[in-house]
Structure 1
Amino acid sequence: MKELSRYTEPVPLEHEVKPYFQPIVSMQTQRIVAYESLGRWEQNGQVRSLGPFFQNPDIPDERHLAIDRVLRERAIEYMAQADSDSKLFINLKPSWIYQRFQATGELPTLHYIARHGLDPSRVVVEITEEEFQGRLDELSSIIERYRRAGCMIAIDDIGSGYSNYDRIASIRPHILKIDLKLLKKSATHVGYEAVLNSFSILASQMGSSLLVEGVETKRDLHQALKVGARYVQGFLFSEARAALQPSTAYEAMLQEELSEYTRQELAKHRSLFAVMESLNDLVSGEAVIESEADADSLIEELLESVEDHVVKVYICREDGRQISSNFRRREGCDWEIDPGYRGANWIWRPYFIPNILQMNHQRQGNLSQVYTDLDSSRPMQTYSCPIGGKHYLFLDLVV
């Protein structure tokens, strides 16, 4: 065991530590609905984060845990006495929960909640990002005790480090928390967008709410809105403070930004619908396609009329088999014909069958969501429409 005396830097004493509270804002109500408790060290009139203390491997775990418990109980006591119905997010390391329960069968946080009379439904147990060496099923069973006591469960830093999909699936959190700052450090722009969208889908499929932290600018806020964040947190609103704030502190700013975001998104989607309508007018659903040559001839007739942002055109049957050549626009606006794609089958793409069924039902074209093209890595959308009986025209557009 490491001895505290071997650590030469000063360490906080229990009377010097205090919980500070960073607000978490609901996009639904534009009000502060929760606070994350963050440890601060008050010494000689100065306040500093306890992050470096908790992250220092030279300090014994026992000391880390002792300070953390002091902070936890003080945060719970403060929130129980505050004139607020906000929720309290408390960070807990998986290893601490696991080791304490395995050794004693106790969960101190539940004792603190009961001791100070805080409604457990106002507590969110936030499982932090950390390598965990124990059994995941046992950890999940322990965390389930918090859930049964009435607490909500969140998982922190999704997509980084050790917060993997096995842990998410096993714990079944109410809230998935992602940090924009962490993702920006570890991904290209295209990869960053794709990862954010994947977590949005994951949250919706699991029945979890998405909380985006690290929101520092209005652009970050718009990005959080785009991926479906129900809650947001970050320096755009406030740093952690010693006292709670009025629940309406950021309501006016959020309402203004929601209006601006809505205006931008409506304008973008109106332009996309205009593109779709122009393509609907361009294509006749009565074309006759009996051979590969017929399919290529039909595309050649269309090429003179398509807009410049259309970069690829092809025709498939409803079974996914491509019957035409690929017509791809070159840099100089000429078209390159590649018959090598005849016979390729696209049924493996997850959207293909739902897309075909929707077109059959509506008998009109539709426009896909934005995606990244596998070959060019550019953001794209695909317009598709029924044509010539059981054939379907696909046009790829650069966004």
Structure 2
Amino acid sequence: MDALEVMMHKERTYPLFQPIFVAGKHEVVGYEVLPRLRIEEHEYDLTDFFYDSLVPEEYRLEIDRYIRKQALEIQKTRAHMWLFYNINPSLYDGSPGDRLISELAEESTEMILSISLSDETVKWYTLRHFVQFLQNSQIRVAMKETKNAKITMMDIVQVKPDIIKIDIGDVERENVNVHRELLHTFSIAAGKIGASLLFQNIKGFQQLSDAWRQGALYLQGDYLALPHPTMIDNNQEKLVKNFRSFLNYEREKKRASLQFSRFLSERMKKLISGRVVHMDSDTLAQYVGRSLQDICFRVYICDGEGFQLSGNAVKHQSDQWEIYEENRRQNWSWRPFFLENIVQMHVDGGGILSELYMDLHRHEQIRTYSYPAGDGRYIFVDIPFSYLYERDFLG
């Protein structure tokens, strides 16, 4: 929209409020302020207006302040609620930032400032001093990821925000499984620096489920509540119902995994006994593979330091097993949880079933069952997704 047209209709700009829910209590904890302009029957989203470098800064600051004052006035009716307010940090360098801090101090309100990159601010690390300035003024800061400005682990470490806002809508637009792994990485990184995760743009049941599984403290999106001119408080029952469904599903998954792990353990005990001590590692891998060929497609043997002692015993479509040499002497200790699992198997004497993960060779999700051979060697049995998919709660 033309900047002059926005300025001419300044009195028709206003905020909408989209509720943000806190996962622990299943209730609204605050609202994101969304800038709008209405001309006749048309409502316009003004978000891009504030990030358009062709629009004079004084125009953008004037409209931003006008909408913010309206939001703060409405917020007085719900004084215990937070406001998540989006700002273009490039507009608040120097004296505009000082005025913003003074205004918020006078209001004595809980406002969380959400920042994201723009054409004027293209690198996150350039904002770390601005973020520290806000935090030193007792204002919490949220880092907002956008489609064109992703957040990396280094960005999080350098900026150290209080909240990380992730657009979970990207899960539907990109490789779903890879994106979920990235979400998990964000969850770990946030925990390391003491930040909370806010998953926004939740538009359906599956996206809410993904957010819940990744440890989101805050949840937002049209699936939970639409933006509204007033601060509505609803959908607590919907959230509780969905979370109960997630819990039931996860409980069944855990139960199925434990039962499957016990089943594999019993079969491995019958296979191993004392007969494998005199087998070389290639023979052992092929022996286990042929004995479990109804379940697995690949078997290999490692020592306690993570070095692969055997080649990969791989099943062909004809049910013939062949040894492939490419990973012999490969060390797998760099894998997450690998050494932890080795130690656990050594201490407990039992097997471990992994979660689903992406196999680099097959480009599909698999699970691995690992089991101690009892002579310092460890057996790794790779199970294809086709087998897991046919069994409830394993795939």
Q: Report TM bin, short chain.
A: 0.7 to 0.9
Q: Is the 8 A contact 2:200 2:220 kept in 1?
A: yes
The yes-or-no answer on 1:116 pairing with 2:107 is yes
SS of structure 2 residue aligned to 1:109? helix
- What is the aligned counterpart of 1:48 among 20, 44, 53? 44
Letter in 2 for 1:82: T
2:137 to 149, 172, 179: 149
TM-score, normalization by structure 1 = 0.86
8 Å contact kept, 1:146–1:152: yes
Q: Is the 2:198–2:220 contact (alpha carbons within 8 Å) kept by the matching residues of 1?
A: yes
Cα RMSD after superposing both structures: 2.7
Partner secondary structure for residue 107 of structure 1: helix
1:192-229 C-alpha deviation (Å, 9 max, x unpaired): 22222222222222222111111001111111112221
> Are 2:328 and 1:325 equivalent residues in the alignment?
no
SS at 2:246 equivalent: helix
1:92 Cα shift? Answer: 1.6
- Equivalent residue in structure 1 for 2:89, among 88, 94, 99: 94
- Which residue matches 2:20? 24
SS in 2 for 1:10: helix
Structure 1 letter corresponding to 2:297: V
Q: Deviations over 1:258-301 (max 9, x none)?
A: 1111121222222211221111112236546667x533333343
Matched, 1:296 2:282: yes
Could you tell me which runs of 5 or more consecutive residues in structure 2 were left unpaired when the two chains were aligned: 386-395
**Could you tell me how far apart the structure 1 residues matched to 2:369 and 2:35 are?**
52
Using the alignment, how far apart are the partners of 1:398 and 1:317 within structure 2? 24
Secondary structure (helix, strand or coil) at the match of 1:279 reads helix
Give the AA of the match of 2:69.
E
Match of 1:220 among 194, 204, 207: 207
Cα distance in 2 between the residues matched to 1:353 and 1:59: 56
Does 1:15 pair with 2:11?
yes
Distance 2:355 2:210 in 1: 16
Structure 1 residues 349 and 165: alpha-carbon distance in aligned structure 2, compared to 1, 3 A threshold: closer
Whether the 8 Å CA contact 1:384–1:392 is kept in 2: the answer is yes
Q: CA deviation at 1:384?
A: 1.0
CA contact (8 A) 1:36 1:88 kept: yes
Map 1:58-77 → 2, pairs under 5 A: 58-77=54-73
CA distance in 2, matches of 1:385, 1:209: 37
Aligned counterparts, 1:207-356, within 5 A: 207-246=194-233, 249-284=234-269, 286-287=273-274, 293-306=279-292, 308-356=294-342
Give the direction of change, closer, same or farther, for the CA distance of 1:132–1:290 in structure 2 (3 Å limit). Answer: farther
Q: Select which of 156, 171, 186 maps to 1:199.
A: 186
More displaced 10-residue stretch of structure 1: 30-39 or 167-176: 167-176
The separation in 2 between residues aligned to 1:130 and 1:362, in whole angstroms, is: 53
Most deviating of 369-378 and 164-173: 164-173
Aligned partner letter, 1:93: N
Instruction: Summarize the Cα distance change of 1:281–1:131 in structure 2 as closer, same or farther, 3 Å threshold.
Output: farther
Q: Distance in 1 between matches of 2:122 and 2:260?
A: 54
Equivalent position SS for 2:142? strand
| Aligned-partner Cα distance in 2 for 1:175–1:51 | 20
1:175 paired to 2:166: no
Task: Write the letter of the residue equivalent to 2:218.
Answer: Y
Q: Secondary structure at the match of 1:33?
A: strand
Contact 1:288 1:388 in 2 (8 A): no
- Map of 2:378 onto structure 1: 392
Q: Distance between the aligned counterparts of 1:135 and 1:278, measured in 2?
A: 52
| Amino acid paired to 2:361 | D
Distance between the aligned counterparts of 1:8 and 1:150, measured in 2? 33
Amino acid at match of 1:275: F
**Number of residue pairs matched?**
382
Q: Which moved more, 1:157-166 or 1:192-201?
A: 157-166
Out of 355, 373, 388, the position equivalent to 2:359 is: 373
Whole-Å separation in 2 of the counterparts to 1:52 and 1:136: 19
Secondary structure of residue in 1 paired with 2:297: strand
